[in-house]
Amino acid sequence: MSERPENRVFGKRAQQHVVILASGDKIRHMTIRPWMAAVTFCFAGMFTVGYLAATSYLVLRDDLIGATMARQARMQHDYEDRISALRAQVDRVTSRQLLDQQVVEEKVEKLMQQQLALSERHGKLDALLTRAESSGVDTVPLPDEKPVTDGRRADAAGAINAVMGLTGAAPQKTTQLAYAASGESVADRADRLFSKVTLSLKDLEHEQLNRIQSLTAGASETADAIQTILKRTGFDVADTAATDDESDTAVGGPFVEPALATDPFEDSINDLDVALERLDAARRTARKLPFGNPSPGSNITSRFGNRTDPFLGRLALHAGIDFRASTGTEIRATGAGTVVVAGRNGGYGNMVEIDHGNGLTTRYAHLSEVLVKVGDHVETDGPVGLSGTTGRSTGPHLHYEVRRNGKAIDPMRFLTAGMKLTTYMN
């Protein structure tokens, strides 16, 4: 059994460890106490930990720095990608805005042109409508504008204001022109609005064309009716127009090829102008002819044609018609013309003869008094004398004749035509 050394004795203090340091003749003693060993151990441990930590830091520092730089690079790349995406989106929005603005400007320009065309048309129509109204053709004022379904007026200015946000509110910002709050572009809204305005303008144009065509038809019908009546009396508008004064028919100018009209509105305007000109020419012709009544309210006692002569008792031609009129009744000219005879003329007694042109004359016989003289110009319904019983007459009356190129024709044709023309001459 091995012998175990005894380190301590019961009841005695343990011996302290002593370190003897000898250097030549010098000897030093150092007593090592437990706390000193503990402190030494702690310092040694701390040194070891510090050394290991420093060594690890030096080893891992490059890796940490590289990882940090890589992370920053990734973050910078992500930000650059995001900035590029935002920039591309801004470019798309800007391009869309410019495109929308261009579309809107083109549509506004088109509407302005349409409105200008309508304004020019109204200017042309005003003169024709005034002329048609003075000619007695039924006219109705044309509408200037029609409201569209959203309450805006159908004109280009209203459309521009509606699109640009100027209808009673502050103007919208330029950036708001790109997209509406619902994501709808201004061009889309403008398309809908401009479609409504365009349809309204088209409706107005159709109304104008329909009204012009209606006026043209009315003027043509009236002119045709007057011409038909004139032809039944043996006169044609073209024939009488050829004998008008030179001041009315003098025309001239170099020959230029006719312009080819391709606009339906221009064609309609030209048709209406031609129809009104025909109507005016027919009415001018009718006013120059003796279609009036020389003694309104008087009864006809003897008509045109063969009859028994009141003095000879045998068959004779009565070259006119007789009106029962007491002495002193005012006799009126049946048409405008120039007095060529005014005084005694054989069996006619006191007579007035008026030249109406176109070889047409009228005679007013058996007058008690002549109120005009040769060379006077008289208007329709102007007084020419007073009825009586002068000349070859059996009693107070008016003998009225109508002659063409010196040949007597039945005055009833003109009196009947005059009554028919009354409704077309106003």
* DSSP state, residue 297: T
* pLDDT at site 14: 60
Q: How far is CA 183 from the centre of its chain?
A: 33
Q: At 342, which CATH number?
A: 2.70.70.10
Residue 362 class from Cβ within 10 Å (0-12 exposed, 13-18 middle, 19+ buried)?
A: buried
* pLDDT at site 37: 77
Query: Is position 388 within any domain?
Result: yes
Per-residue confidence in pLDDT tens, the chain, 426 aa: 444 454 455 555 666 667 777 777 777 777 777 777 788 889 888 989 888 888 887 777 777 787 888 888 888 888 888 888 888 888 888 777 777 777 777 777 777 777 777 667 666 667 777 777 777 666 544 444 443 334 433 444 555 455 444 444 444 444 444 444 445 555 666 667 777 777 776 777 777 778 888 888 888 888 888 888 888 887 766 655 555 544 455 666 687 776 665 667 777 878 888 888 888 888 888 888 898 899 988 899 999 988 888 888 788 888 899 999 999 999 999 999 999 999 999 899 999 999 998 889 999 999 999 999 999 999 999 999 999 999 888 899 999 999 999 899 999 988 888 888 888 876
Q: Which residues, listed in sequence order, are joined to residue 28 by a DSSP beta bridge?
A: 21
Query: Is position 127 within any domain?
Result: no
* pLDDT at site 78: 86
Write down the pTM of the prediction: 0.55
For residue 231, what are its two tokens? Answer: 């032809």
Q: Which domain holds residue 405?
A: 300-424
Number of domains in the chain: 1
Query: Is position 335 within any domain?
Result: yes
User: What backbone phi and psi angles, to 5 degrees, belong to 179?
Assistant: -140, 145
Query: Is position 83 within any domain?
Result: no
Query: Is position 393 within any domain?
Result: yes
Query: Is position 370 within any domain?
Result: yes
* pLDDT at site 111: 72
Per 3-state DSSP, what percentage of the chain is helix, strand, and coil (rounded to 5)?
A: 50, 20, 30
Query: Is position 22 within any domain?
Result: no
Query: Is position 346 within any domain?
Result: yes
Secondary structure of residue 45 in the 3-state scheme? helix
